[in-house]
Amino acid sequence: MHKIPLLDHDSKIPLNKQAEDALRSLIQHPDFSNGALFPKETDLAQRWSISRNTLRQAINNLVKEGLLERKKRLGTRVTKQKIATNLNNWMSFTHEMESMGLSFKNLLLITEMKPVTDEVAQSLQIQTETEVICLKRVRSTDENPMVYFESYFHPRIGISENENFEKPLYELLDEKYNVIPVYSQEEIKAIAASDKIAEILKIKEGEPLLERKRLVLDAGRKPIEYNVCYYRSDWFTYSIEIKRSI
């Protein structure tokens, strides 16, 4: 059993409050925050010398806050907090995540010259089979893949395979290639993971994903980038605020 804080039965602080504080400290433990089940209620109650009703009161408070989840016949574990991205304003993925205090890193970064499909060609307004730079990235906050990107760049930009794509993409386009992304046309839908994407994101084939297709345009509405993102649905959700016309 993991090292569990003890309760002070001589303290003026109620035992259910002490138990709640102890559970909060356990939530921060890497094992539990990564999905490990909490010890059984009977074990915790015995270790703390409190009744199961007192323990349940503490657990229920954390369930109400959305920090813990309880499942019959399984037990109690930390609730996985999904990352909500907002569709009202768009920016680079790096800046979007940084605005929420999240630091992402590249687990995989590959660039290659690749002939485009009909779909990409139509979006970039170029001929099918034209070879363009394709940037592939797997990104995450830790070592577990969370999102996979494929970006295709219009040939007129002149971007190189050897470019430093560790830098935020739209900063790079602006500062080095004098290309300023202004418009984003997006399509988002739920899909089942193909064998290829499942392998990349380390999930099972057929698991649900959020697929986001984005066409980025400059001020003159000339295409810059066609981007397809695959977000693990156990990590990401999308939110949007719409104002009703009055």
Average the pLDDT over each of 103-107, 174-178, 210-214 and give the range with the smallest value.
103-107
| 35 or 115: which leads in pLDDT | 115
pLDDT above 70 coverage of the chain, percent = 83
User: Which of helix, strand or coil describes residue 46?
Assistant: helix
Q: Does residue 87 contact residue 214 with C-beta atoms inside 8 Å? A: no
Question: In sequence order, what are the beta bridge partners of 184?
Answer: 216
Higher pLDDT pick, 208 / 167: 208
pTM over 0.85: no
pLDDT on residue 232: 87
Complete domains list, the chain, with CATH: 15-78 (1.10.10.10), 83-239 (3.40.1410.10)
153 strand-pairing partners: 225
User: Is residue 41 helix, strand or coil?
Assistant: helix
* 31: DSSP letter: H
C-alpha dist (Å) from residue 170 to 51, 62, 104, 174, 231: 57, 40, 16, 6, 20
Q: Is 8's pLDDT higher than 70? A: yes
- The residue type of 67 is L
Q: Tell me the pLDDT band of 191, cut-offs 50, 70 and 90.
A: very high
Does residue 124 register a pLDDT over 80? yes
Give the end-to-end CA distance of the chain in Å, rounded to a whole number.
59
For the ranges 62-76, 100-114, 205-219, the maximum mean pLDDT occurs at 205-219
Helix (H) or strand (E) holding 138: strand 131-140
| Per-residue model confidence (pLDDT) at position 2 | 58
Between 176 and 30, name the one with better pLDDT. Answer: 176
pLDDT at 41: 84
| Residue burial 137-165, b: 16+ Cβ < 10 Å; e: rest | bbbbeeeebbbbbbbbbbeebebeeebeb
Percent residues over pLDDT 90 in the chain:
30
Higher pLDDT, 91 or 194: 194
Tell me the pLDDT band of 200, cut-offs 50, 70 and 90: very high
pLDDT digits (tens, 9 = 90+) for 34-77: 667 888 888 888 889 999 899 888 888 888 777 788 777 777 87
φ/ψ of 35, rounded to 5, equals 115, 0
CA–CA gap between residue 17 and residue 37 (Å, rounded): 21
Picking from 225, 226, 234, 135, the residue whose alpha carbon sits closest to that of residue 190 is 234
Predicted local distance difference test score (pLDDT) of residue 1: 45
The per-residue pLDDT for 196 is 94
- Averaged pLDDT for residues 211-236: 89
Task: With cut-offs at 50, 70 and 90, classify the pLDDT of residue 238.
Answer: low
